[in-house]
Structure 1
Amino acid sequence: MNNTAARQDAVAASQDLAVREKKELTGQEKTVPGRFFVPSTDAYETEDGLTLVMEMPGVVRENLDVSLEDGVLTVEGRLDFSKYEGLEPVYTEYNVGHYARSFSLSDKVDQDNIAAKIEDGVLTLTLPKAQAARPRRIAVS
């Protein structure tokens, strides 16, 4: 077995599947009734910007608000609880509730060109880097 395969096996062994508990949002007052949870989020950086991927199961585009005010990006997703009426769970691993999360953005993000897309309960936010923050090549003469 070569070194690359050995490293991949070690990484796979250290990433056992486990149930993650939802974190309830605390300390913020909301006007929408119901519990709010912090959605699990992954962040990726490229030369062009940042990509945030947020898990928001059950949230559809019509019930999603993404806003930017004073350099703070706020995401709020609401569930339609009517889909759960009359259901008696046999077993549950997570609580049903709305989602909310905020991010403070630096001036290195081009705040005028942020894009959002939700598909199958996964919200993808694209935050392009401001032109001044992007790496550039300097011509040598």
Structure 2
Amino acid sequence: MSRQLMTTQNAQAPQTQESQQQLAQQERQLRMPPVDISECENEFVIEADMPGTKEENIDVQFHQGELTIRGKVDVPEQSSDHYRFRQFEPTDFYRAFRIGESVDATNISARYADGVLTVHLPKAETLKPRKIEVARK
């Protein structure tokens, strides 16, 4: 996507020791999945790394020119008496992209495999390159 076409909105806590402690005390962590964004002739492709997320816990929406990706990783409840150290926590993923009217919203598709969500955003006809024939006199 062109630089002007897409901006990301990221929810991120300030990087202070106090905010990290508050974040650790919350029941669920909010994380931004890392993404790769590529542009082909007919579409844009977003690949989001969301390991541990089940397909049924992923929500992709496009509304008023904004694509949002949400996901949830649940950790089975087990007695904490047996753990000496545990870092697996319930986690929510969230990422939003301001795309505008540059895509064909009716044909957006998404697929989740091997921990990676791939979203295909077909370009709107107005963005696709068009060859213009030059007429002879």
Assess same fold via TM > 0.5.
yes
- Identical-residue share of aligned pairs (%): 32
Alignment of 1:102-121 (within 5 A): 102-121=96-115
Change (3 A) 1:91 1:62: closer
Q: Aligned-pair RMSD on alpha carbons?
A: 2.7
Change (3 A) 1:112 1:63: same
Secondary structure in 1 matching 2:51:
coil
Q: How many matched pairs? A: 112
Question: How many angstroms apart in 2 are the aligned matches of 1:121 and 1:89?
Answer: 28
Question: How many angstroms apart in 1 are the aligned matches of 2:83 and 2:91?
Answer: 16
Change (3 A) 1:119 1:89: farther
Out of 23, 44, 52, the position equivalent to 1:50 is: 44
Alignment of 1:10-89 (within 5 A): 25-26=12-13, 34-82=28-76, 85=78, 88=83
Question: How many angstroms apart in 2 are the aligned matches of 1:47 and 1:56?
Answer: 26
Structure 1 residues 24-61: Cα deviation after superposition (integer angstroms, max 9, x where no partner): 7449xxxxx51110000000001101000000000111
Q: Tell me which stretches of 4 or more aligned residues in structure 1 moved more than 2 Å.
A: 23-27, 84-92
Structure 1 unmatched ranges of 5 or more: 1-22, 28-32
Structure 1 residues 62-114: Cα deviation after superposition (integer angstroms, max 9, x where no partner): 111111222111110001211x746847696x876221111111211111111
Could you tell me the TM-score, scaled by structure 2's length? 0.70
Structure number having the greater helix percentage: 1
Question: How many angstroms apart in 2 are the aligned matches of 1:56 and 1:50?
Answer: 19
